[in-house]
């Protein structure tokens, strides 16, 4: 089976999972974190080099304050709790997103986790937090404008543009997976996902299993990636 080098996942359906069971929405987020830990293990098992997960979007600020506050605390608590596991397994952590508007405790934990794992190289886990694809592109343009204002010459093409993105050294995702039955990207990796293969499943994220994970890998393995060119042979 041909395994993607980089898998990106839109972890959708936590709230619906909880509501179906008569639980508070936040319980779905707690369950979702446990599933993510298992997915990291599966990626390590199959030799996936990069895993990017959509944790908190720039649009999530519109949710009720209680839920937003819970998600902020969950990020900090999860980073603290899972860091020993990630270090033990050789997983480098990168945070994809904007620090603007985030509580200081999140920024501090963000820096700590990246610093503690920066020399690990078995796999890279990219956590998209306070992230929006459109905002990333706008922020990249702002960086370019600042350089030009400072008198620097910027040769602008597609390859150079990626140098102004949040994590330019991370390769584009080969496969983007979305759970919960929604058939859209929801402002996720708009630049990087231009030629990604897409896999959608009705499974809610807290129910995401190894069986569904393998189904996504098998689907990817059967596809012919041509990047706009012609199929050979």
> For 150-163, how does the pLDDT look when each residue is reduced to its tens digit (9 = 90+)?
999 999 999 999 99
Catalytic residue among 60, 139, 172, 207: 60
Q: Which pLDDT score is estimated for 231?
A: 58
CB 100 within 8 A of CB 131: no
Query: Rounded CA gap, 220 and 233, in Å?
Result: 20
Q: Give residue 224's pLDDT band: very low, low, confident or very high (50, 70, 90).
A: confident
Tell me which H or E stretch contains 127.
Answer: strand 123-131
CATH class (in words) of the domain with range 6-133+171-221: alpha beta
Residue-wise pLDDT for 161-217, tens only, equals 999 999 999 999 999 999 999 999 999 999 999 999 999 999 999 999 999 999 999
Residue-wise pLDDT for 16-68, tens only, equals 999 999 999 999 999 999 999 999 999 999 999 999 999 999 999 999 999 99
From the list 77, 76, 96, 79, the residue with the least C-alpha distance to 87 is: 79
CB 17 within 8 A of CB 137: no
Q: Which pLDDT score is estimated for 233?
A: 45
Residue 187: active-site member: no
Domain ranges for the chain: 6-133+171-221
Query: Rounded CA gap, 1 and 165, in Å?
Result: 32
3-state secondary structure 64-91: CHHHHHHHHHHHHHHHHHHHHHHHHCCE
Give the pTM: 0.94
Q: Which pLDDT score is estimated for 82?
A: 96
Residue 12: active-site member: yes
Q: 229 pLDDT exceeds 80? A: no
Residue-wise pLDDT for 88-144, tens only, equals 999 999 999 999 989 999 999 999 999 999 999 999 999 999 999 999 999 999 999
Sequence length of the chain is: 233
Q: 232 pLDDT exceeds 60? A: no
Q: Which pLDDT score is estimated for 83?
A: 96
Q: 226 pLDDT exceeds 90? A: no
């Amino acid at each position: 089976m041909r395994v993607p080098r980089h898998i990106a996942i839109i972890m959708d359906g936590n709230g619906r999972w909880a509501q179906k069971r008569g639980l508070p929405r936040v319980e779905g987020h707690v369950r979702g974190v446990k599933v993510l830990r298992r997915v990291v293990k599966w990626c390590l098992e199959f030799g996936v080099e990069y895993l990017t997960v959509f944790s908190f979007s720039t649009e999530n600020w519109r949710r009720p304050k209680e839920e937003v506050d819970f998600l902020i605390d969950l990020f900090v608590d999860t980073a603290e709790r899972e860091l020993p596991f990630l270090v033990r397994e050789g997983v480098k952590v990168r945070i994809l997103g904007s620090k603007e508007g985030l509580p200081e405790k999140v920024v501090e934990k963000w820096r700590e986790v990246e610093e503690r794992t920066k020399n690990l190289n078995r796999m890279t886990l990219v956590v998209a937090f306070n992230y929006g694809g459109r905002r990333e592109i706008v922020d990249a343009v702002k960086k370019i404008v600042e350089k030009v204002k400072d008198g620097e010459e910027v040769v602008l093409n597609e390859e150079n543009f990626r140098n102004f993105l949040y994590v330019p050294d991370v390769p584009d995702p080969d496969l983007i997976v979305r759970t919960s039955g929604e058939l859209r990207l929801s402002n996720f990796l708009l630049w990087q996902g231009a030629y990604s293969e897409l896999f959608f499943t009705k499974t809610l994220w807290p129910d995401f299993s190894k069986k569904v994970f393998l189904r996504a890998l098998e689907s990817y393995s059967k596809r012919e990636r041509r990047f706009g060119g012609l199929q050979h042979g």
